[in-house]
Amino acid sequence: MTQIVAPRVFRVQAWRMRKTSDIIWQDAQHQVLFKILDMLREPTAGRQVLRQLEDYTLTHFALEEQYMKELGYPGRIEHMQAHARFRKEITELLESQQELDAVFREIISTFLTEWLTRHVFGIDKELEEFILQSSAK
């Protein structure tokens, strides 16, 4: 049992130490998103954690989308579509009748963490670069 738990603990702690963005607000919000995903792995996690994730992504995505709009970000449409897909995944999970047992929590936590990781270190990096180069920061 310890051999299975130890890698998860390391992975969770590694996220808290890893900077995701040179934009302070963006990095802070990404850290909160990963922390919520970590909470989903907890044995006591229920749908309230998914609701918390849904609520926080709405706030985070809205701020990013406002920056994209105000700065005239050329990749805005694609980025907003990615946000919409993530919101849809969360909504479907919330509407699912699937019991949030340990296996299901692990599956959805892994899926959402991998999605968010690809997003944060992919498309969000492109937005970060654009914002940092903008005179309107």
Q: Which two tokens stand for residue 93?
A: 């999970």
Task: Please list, in sequence order, all residues whose beta carbon lies within 8 angstroms of the beta carbon of residue 87, skipping any fewer than 6 positions away.
Answer: 54, 57, 58, 61
Confidence of residue 44 (pLDDT cuts 50, 70, 90): confident
What is the DSSP secondary-structure string of the chain? -HHHHHHHHHHHHHHHHS---SSHHHHHHHHHHHHHHHHHTSTT--HHHHHHHHHHHHHHHHHHHHHHHHHT-TTHHHHHHHHHHHHHHHHHHHH------HHHHHHHHHHHHHHHHHHHTTHHHHHHHHHHH-TT-
- pLDDT of 15 higher than 50: no
Backbone angles phi, psi at 71, to 5 degrees: -90, -5
pLDDT of residue 9: 40
pLDDT (tens digit per residue) in 87-118: 998 888 888 888 888 888 888 888 888 888 88
pLDDT of residue 115: 87
- pLDDT of 13 higher than 70: no
CATH architecture of structural domain 2-133:
Up-down Bundle (1.20)
Q: Which two tokens stand for residue 31?
A: 């850290």
> Whole-model pTM?
0.75
Higher-pLDDT residue of 52 and 136 is 52
pLDDT of residue 137: 55
Averaged pLDDT of the chain: 81
The full set of domain ranges for the chain reads: 2-133
